[in-house]
């Protein structure tokens, strides 16, 4: 079963928590045991699983990525969004999560985040569930 989520971003770079939307997709699927693949089909966006208790972690992650991959540099890509491509490669485009007892298995402080690096835009997130 596959579900498509829509994420609307509002800034050039931001992290948007999508944990509840993914949990809802798992619940609607009826799958009790299996796996949940969350995938972003965009080259300037990504996914991560990280702390969802302290919002300053989001700020710290985005600032660290900005230091690693600044907006201005010796980039040659004609669209001008090379930093977004590089940051999305560093974060990755997918996460595989365990489904147990009909729900996602996440740590106490973990959340699923959509990572925008070339916004604002309307983006898609695909959630593919397998199991029984």
Question: Residues 114-125: pLDDT tens digits?
Answer: 999 999 999 999
pTM for this prediction: 0.96
DSSP letter for each residue of the chain: -EEEEEEE--SSSEEEE-HHHHHHHHHHHT--SEEEEEE---TTEEEEEEE-S-THHHHHHHHHHHHHS-SSSS---TTS-HHHHHHHHHH-SEEEEEEETTEE---TTEEEEEEESS-S-EEEEEEEEEE-
**CATH classification of 2-131 is 1.10.3720.10, yes or no?**
no
Instruction: Tell me the per-residue pLDDT of 14-38, one tens digit each, with 9 for 90 and over.
Output: 999 999 999 999 999 999 999 999 9
């Amino acid at each position: 079963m596959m579900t498509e989520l829509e994420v609307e971003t509002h800034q050039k770079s931001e992290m948007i928590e999508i944990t509840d939307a993914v949990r809802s997709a798992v619940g609607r699927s009826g799958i009790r045991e299996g796996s949940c693949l969350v995938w972003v089909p965009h080259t300037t966006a990504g996914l991560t699983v990280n702390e969802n208790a302290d919002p300053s972690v989001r700020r710290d992650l985005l600032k660290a990525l900005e230091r690693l991959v600044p907006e201005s540099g010796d980039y040659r890509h004609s669209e001008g969004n090379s930093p977004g491509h590089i940051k999305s490669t560093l974060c990755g485009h997918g996460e595989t999560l365990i489904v147990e007892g009909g729900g996602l298995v996440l740590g106490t402080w973990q959340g699923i985040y959509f990572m925008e690096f070339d916004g604002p835009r309307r983006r898609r997130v695909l959630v593919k569930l397998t199991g029984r």
